[in-house]
């Protein structure tokens, strides 16, 4: 390129640069915007209005920002399954798939939110948990996350949130991470994010497996029964295997060793017949109780504590089949919270109302046109019959010369269900009498009570992890002003939490929000701060991941048997049989793949070696006795396994004769997770320790980094 041509190109590019400094907000057509935080509603708690061209202008552009991968939730894994309804819900909903005994095919897609399609599975992030039910009344999509609340209250702020957490636009760094200035700049100016950020900084954001995380519908929906009576409902997915996490240090190492860790875990377990299961639970709130609580049930940054409204189990989901083709199924499946069936309806949650437009719009764009529902993975089981025609990607062939309604040439078909005494989808009849406004309800103005509830509900170890997570993330933030603003938010939640994080990053937390933050908050709530109502509960057991070991299970857990030539076959078989009886999997790991020679003679083909495996990919470790101990004692990779396993608070068992390996390691002191046969302990004690998931006493007593 000649110098003159290069200069012309630079000049041409400079003309396209936009500097927003000292500029007023506008639409893409240059119309000045008075309020960029609230969608247009019928009353401050009413439904959003279709005529909101400012919201549509913003969201339609946002939905088209990435091709071909999803704007958010790009990194995903999926599986086929079935849902069986186990409770009679006819008093609350006429949804056919929720009739007791009904079995409904489905497809689930799990995902991270912030990262690109090729990012790691183990990022600290929210996980998408979306289920498409192929019901006899059409497709129903329950589009949720593994966290029951969200960052923002109104859909107008959703593009801003995603822009903030995505890699920064000037250098496209960092990938799949919130530990950078733009994310914390945004949330430190949006106290409504405080509750969700607390969840994201907890262990919920780094699950052990997709099979071991909860799912939530996030929003408040409505059940509608045959008589037209509505009941507010919150959806919960409860994993049969329990809710478990990895340590942050562990997650970082897994990302380097196996970025597909969650995807591989899901695929391999379904392939082995270890079908993951979740119970579907609901929290039901009568319409007359809509204003009963200290929080607003339409606020997506709030949850309903299970102690206040118990979760009723109404069915079970089983994932039993992997996709045949990742692109055709997992990538092309199109979820949309607006895909409802008779008996389920929306509430006036302003974030949910906005998602109804956004998801359909982005699928139209991402999948190339209006016929994405004709792709096999998106087709309903009962077909479709309407007068829509043509468009990109059309696969269905409409017979005859009629493509309109009403008509007589086609016999009036397809006909309205009511013409033959049948019922189709009917929106819940809700009386609305309100002014058109861009406002937010005062009942949405308490941003810290539930964040405090979540923090107070955690075990001491989990609280320490939250401190560490905030400290790590804010240490990555270059702006001291942003760090300070976030510490002020933490102080409103819990002064001790703020002080600990502040000490770790060298700052003293302010006791009040700064003027810039207050300016943004008061735009939505002019009378802020308000006096919050007394909460119904101050602690909720359901919010902690730490579980009663007596109720634990080690099903599908992977136990590394660390072996070498000369290992005692009887010891290997004894432990292997006991662990497999509990549903765990024993994996022999040796210095090399190939033949492993046993002490008693004979051999076994080994598929995994210290070179190809990493301790972070296993849940517990066993070292059998035999001549193998001498070989392992000279193997640095072996000690890396047990030292790291100890650091990550996992159970380790050593047979008689293997104690010398413990003495040569960094393992110091005895605890419930260190099983020594020379002390009279056995595989039973090993299993009991594994059921705790983590040996928490080790972390607190020995300050093992999380």
Residues identified as active-site? 73, 145
Which helix (H) or strand (E) segment is 267 a member of?
A: helix 261-272
Give the Å distances, CA to CA, from 168 to 114, 174, 175, 183, 321: 12, 7, 9, 9, 38
Burial grade of 629 (CB within 10 A; 0-12, 13-18, 19 or more)? buried
171 C-beta neighbours (distance < 10 Å), count: 7
Residue 330's H or E segment, with its range, is: none
**Token pair recorded at residue 286:** 């009568």
Q: Count each helix (H run) and each strand (E run) in the chain, helices first.
A: 19, 20
What gap in Å lies between CA 356 and CA 362, rounded to an integer? 11
- Report d(CA 661, CA 143) in Å as an integer: 49
Q: Rounded to whole angstroms, how far apart are CA atoms 583 and 90? A: 37
Structure tokens belonging to residue 1: 């390129």
List, as one string, the DSSP characters of 535-566: PS-S--GGG-----GGG---TT-EEEEE--TT
158: nearest Cα among 59, 69, 75: 59
- Give residue for tokens 């432990």: 575
H-helix or E-strand spanning residue 84: strand 76-85
Beta bridge partners of 141: 132
SS (H, E, C) 524-538: HCCCCCCCCCCCCCC
242 φψ region: left (φ > 0), alpha (ψ -120 to 50), beta (else): left
Q: Provide the β-strand partners of residue 594.
A: 606
Task: Give the residue among 407, 350, 412, 320 at the shortest CA–CA distance from 84.
Answer: 320
Q: Which residue carries 């802020």 as its tokens?
A: 528
Q: Cα(205)–Cα(178) distance, rounded to whole angstroms?
A: 11
Answer whether 97's CB lies under 8 Å from 83's CB.
Answer: yes
Give the number of other Cβ atoms within 10 Å of residue 700's Cβ: 13
- Residue in 401, 377, 406, 379 with CA at minimum distance from that of residue 389: 401
Burial of 60 from C-beta contacts in 10 A (0-12 / 13-18 / 19+): middle
Place of tokens 């999509």: 141
Q: Are 624 and 572 in contact, with CB atoms under 8 Å apart?
A: yes
Q: Strand 674-676 to strand 230-239: parallel, antiparallel, or no bridges (unpaired)?
A: unpaired
Q: What size, in residues, is the chain? A: 706
**Cβ neighbours of residue 610 under 8 Å, at least 6 residues apart?**
589, 590, 591, 635, 637, 638, 640, 641
Helix, coil or strand: residue 230: strand
Tokens read off for 11 = 């000049």
**Whether the Cβ atoms of residue 184 and residue 161 lie closer than 8 Å to each other:** no
The distance from CA 367 to its chain's CA centroid, rounded to whole angstroms, is 23
DSSP single-letter state for residue 192: G
Residue 188 and residue 480: Cα distance in Å, rounded? Answer: 12
Residue with tokens 């998106």: 378
């Amino acid at each position: 390129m000649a110098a003159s041509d290069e200069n012309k190109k630079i000049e041409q590019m400079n003309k396209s640069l936009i500097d927003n400094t000292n500029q007023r907000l506008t639409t893409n057509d240059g119309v000045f915007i008075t309020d960029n935080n609230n969608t247009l509603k019928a009353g401050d708690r009413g439904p959003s209005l279709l005529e909101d061209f400012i919201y549509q202008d913003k969201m339609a552009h946002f939905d088209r920002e990435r091709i071909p991968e999803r704007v958010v939730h790009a990194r995903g894994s999926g599986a086929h399954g079935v849902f069986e309804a186990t409770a009679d819900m006819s008093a609350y909903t006429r949804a056919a798939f929720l009739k007791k005994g009904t079995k409904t095919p489905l497809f689930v897609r799990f995902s991270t939110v912030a990262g690109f399609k090729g990012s790691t599975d183990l990022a600290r992030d929210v996980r998408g948990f979306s289920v498409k039910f192929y019901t006899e009344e059409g497709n129903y999509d329950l589009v949720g996350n593994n966290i029951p609340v969200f960052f923002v209250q109104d859909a107008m702020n959703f593009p801003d949130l995603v822009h903030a957490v995505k890699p920064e636009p000037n250098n496209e760094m960092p990938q799949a991470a919130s530990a950078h200035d733009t994310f914390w700049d945004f949330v430190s100016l949006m106290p409504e994010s405080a509750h969700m950020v607390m969840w994201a900084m907890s262990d919920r954001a780094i699950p052990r497996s997709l099979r071991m995380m909860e799912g939530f519908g996030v929003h408040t929906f409505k059940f509608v029964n045959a008589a037209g009576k509505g009941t507010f409902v919150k959806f919960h997915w409860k994993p049969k295997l329990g809710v478990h996490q990895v340590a942050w240090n562990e997650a970082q190492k897994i990302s380097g060793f196996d970025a597909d860790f969650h995807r591989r875990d899901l695929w391999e377990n379904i392939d082995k017949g270890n079908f993951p299961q979740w119970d579907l639970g609901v929290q039901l709130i009568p319409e007359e109780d809509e204003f009963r609580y200290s929080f607003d049930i339409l606020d997506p940054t709030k949850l309903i504590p299970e102690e206040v409204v118990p979760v009723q189990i109404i069915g079970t989901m089983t994932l039993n089949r992997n996709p045949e083709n990742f692109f055709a199924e997992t990538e092309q499946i199109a979820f949309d919270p607006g895909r409802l069936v008779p008996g389920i309806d929306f509430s006036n949650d302003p974030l949910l109302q906005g998602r109804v437009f956004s998801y359909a719009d982005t699928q139209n764009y991402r999948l190339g046109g209006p016929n994405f529902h004709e792709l096999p993975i998106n087709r309903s089981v009962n077909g479709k019959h309407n007068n829509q025609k043509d468009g990109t990607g059309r696969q269905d062939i409409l017979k005859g010369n009629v493509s309109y309604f009403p008509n007589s040439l086609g016999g009036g078909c397809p006909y309205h269900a009511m013409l033959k005494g049948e019922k189709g989808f009917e929106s819940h009849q809700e009386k609305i009498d309100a002014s058109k406004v861009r406002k937010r309800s005062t009942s949405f103005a308490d941003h810290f009570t539930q964040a405090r509830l979540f923090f107070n509900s955690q075990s001491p170890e989990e609280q320490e992890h939250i401190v560490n997570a905030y400290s790590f993330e804010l240490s990555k933030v270059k702006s001291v002003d942003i760090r300070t603003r976030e510490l002020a938010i933490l102080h409103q939640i819990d002064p001790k939490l703020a002080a600990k994080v502040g000490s770790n990053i060298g700052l003293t937390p302010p006791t009040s929000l700064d003027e810039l933050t207050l300016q943004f908050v008061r735009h939505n709530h002019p009378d802020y701060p308000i006096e919050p109502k007394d909460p119904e509960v101050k602690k909720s057991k359901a919010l902690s991941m730490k579980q009663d070991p007596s109720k634990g299970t080690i099903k599908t857990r992977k136990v590394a048997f660390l072996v070498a030539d000369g290992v005692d076959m009887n010891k290997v078989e004894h432990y292997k049989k006991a662990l497999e009886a509990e549903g765990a999997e024993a994996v022999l790991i040796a210095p090399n793949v190939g033949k492993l020679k046993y002490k008693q003679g004979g051999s076994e083909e080994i598929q995994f070696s210290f070179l190809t495996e990493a301790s972070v990919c296993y849940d517990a470790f066993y070292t059998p006795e035999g001549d193998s101990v001498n070989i392992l004692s000279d193997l640095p990779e072996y000690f890396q396994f047990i030292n790291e396993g100890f650091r990550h608070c996992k159970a380790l068992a050593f047979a008689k004769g293997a104690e010398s390996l413990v003495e040569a390691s960094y393992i110091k002191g005895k605890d419930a997770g260190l099983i020594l046969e020379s002390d009279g302990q056995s595989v039973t004690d090993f299993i009991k320790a594994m059921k705790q998931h983590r040996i928490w006493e080790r972390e607190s007593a020995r300050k093992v980094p999380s």
